[in-house]
Amino acid sequence: MKKEMKKQNNFGALLGAAFIMATSAIGPGFLTQTATFTAEFAASFAFVILISIVLDIGAQVNVWRIIGVSGMRGQDIANKVVPGLGYVVAILVALGGLAFNIGNIGGAALGLNVILGLDVKIAAVICGIIGSIIFLSKDAGPVVDKFTKILGGLMIIIVAYVAIVTKPPVGQAIYRSVAPENFKSLIFPTITLLGGTVGGYITFAGGHRLIDAGITGKENLGEITRGSIMGIVIASIMRVFLFLAVLGVVAKGFQLDPSNPAASAFQHGAGMIGYKFFGIVLLSAGITSVVGAAYTSVSFLKTLHPTIEKNEKYWIIGFIVVSTMIMAVIGKPAKLLILAGSLNGLILPITIGVILLASRRKDIVGDYKHPTWLLVFGLLIVLVAGYAGVNALKNMQMLVH
């Protein structure tokens, strides 16, 4: 009986970890990116989604297995591999997380504005309060799990409904997923999607949640791997439905509004109710990403100083409050978000590289043997992410000049 209970608890925590990873990836940027690229590449974007799912799984399985087996957080592994690197990674991840959180609060506020017509700045404050309340409970972990599961499920149901209503050319999408047009032009969107789904703090959102839930060690390896794949599958189901919903609209010859492509796709596809549904999706995507970014960013900082670990929930709330205040006072700083995206591009090759080095260190993983195919897969991701990182640096130079 006790064993059954433990299995059930473990599965609940695993699903929670998978959802916190998936909903961290499904933010306002995810919606805009998917709609923009679908409008640009039509059915051929299916190929990009397919390739990025394969690469995402490679990145996640590598990270979750090493974190899970070692029972150590990303920054502690980095410090063991290269002393001092963990501090650099923690600060980079926290800065990227803060910048993204400003965008997430902004996105959630726009969602509330679409649903209720509230002023965006007032809506931003309301969203910040909702995000903070979640962490006020004594044991915030299970509350976060439940919150992300409910809103994650709601987003998938709504987007699936819009995808059915818009009647997309599914056969053409399946065909183009293996035979895309203009292959060369699809390299950039593939890299962008990879960074958006497993870049920066997102890669570690689920792995760090597993440590907090106590699911670590070699004996839990099967569950850890399943959880990592579940996270990518949830995010990918959302991506595929969103792609199909937008493709149905684009295929009928509608032009999307470049300032808000996802909203105009929902409106063209399902009328005013579609637009209101988009508001619910945007609010859910924004608020779950606020929770995921704040939780994971502080989980990177908490082993740097005992005070942070002792007052973890207040640091998380502080993180959300600061993001909300910046959003409400300054508005959405476009340059800061481009910079955050660039930072994310730089963080991924470093963090995956560190994880791969750690996989061969007995003082980190003990007698665990990391599969060679995963190592090769990981190296491929480091190369792809490294290339993205170089492009990200060019972005940064443009921002400075």
Quote the pLDDT of residue 5: 56
pLDDT at position 400, please?
Answer: 56
Do the beta carbons of residue 107 and residue 284 sit within 8 Å?
no
What would the DSSP string read from start to end of 111-133? HHHHHH---HHHHHHHHHHHHHH
195 pLDDT tier (thresholds 50, 70, 90): confident
State the average pLDDT for the chain. Answer: 88
Residues 6+ apart with CB under 8 A from 111: 278, 279, 280, 281, 282, 283, 284, 285, 286
pLDDT in tens, 9-39: 678 888 988 999 999 888 888 898 899 999 9
Residue with tokens 């703090």: 201
pLDDT at 359 exceeding the cut of 80: yes
Q: State yes or no: pLDDT of 55 exceeds 60.
A: yes
pLDDT digits (tens, 9 = 90+) for 118-154: 998 999 999 999 999 999 887 788 889 899 999 999 9
pLDDT at residue 340, rounded to an integer? 65
How much of the chain exceeds pLDDT 70, in percent? 91
d(Cα 86, Cα 206) in Å, to the nearest integer?
18
pLDDT at 8: 64
Q: Is the pLDDT of residue 203 over 90?
A: no
Angstrom distance (rounded) from CA 182 to CA 349: 27
Q: Is the pLDDT of residue 394 over 80?
A: no
Which of the four pLDDT bands, split at 50, 70 and 90, describes residue 313? Answer: very high
Q: Is 263 helix (H, G, I), strand (E, B) or coil?
A: helix
In whole angstroms, give the CA distance from residue 288 to residue 22: 9
Distance of CA 109 to the CA centre of its chain: 19
Please say if the pLDDT value at position 392 is more than 70.
Answer: no
Between 175 and 344, whose confidence is greater? 175
Burial of 309 (0-12, 13-18, 19+ CB in 10 A): middle
The Cα–Cα gap between 35 and 313 comes to 35
- pLDDT over 60 at 3, yes or no: no
> Is the Cβ–Cβ distance between 131 and 291 less than 8 Å?
yes
The pLDDT, as a whole number, for residue 189 is: 84
**C-alpha distances out from residue 184 to 77, 180, 213, Å:** 37, 10, 43
Give dist(CA 131, CA 134) in Å, integer: 6
Whether the Cβ atoms of residue 201 and residue 293 lie closer than 8 Å to each other? yes
- Per-residue pLDDT, averaged over 38-45, amounts to 93
Helix (H, G, I), strand (E, B) or coil at 154: helix
pLDDT at position 97 is: 87
Q: Which span out of 5-14, 201-210, 248-257, 344-353 was modeled with the highest average pLDDT?
A: 248-257
User: Across residues 259-279, what is the average pLDDT?
Assistant: 92
56-66: pLDDT as tens digits: 888 899 999 99
- Alpha carbon dihedral 341, 343, 345, 346, in 10-degree steps, equals 170
What's the pLDDT score for residue 62? 92
Say what the pLDDT of residue 344 is.
67
Note the pLDDT tens digit of each residue in 318-351: 999 999 999 888 876 566 666 666 666 677 888 8
Is a pLDDT exceeding 90 seen at residue 159? yes
71 confidence band (pLDDT: 50, 70, 90): very high
pLDDT of residue 335: 64
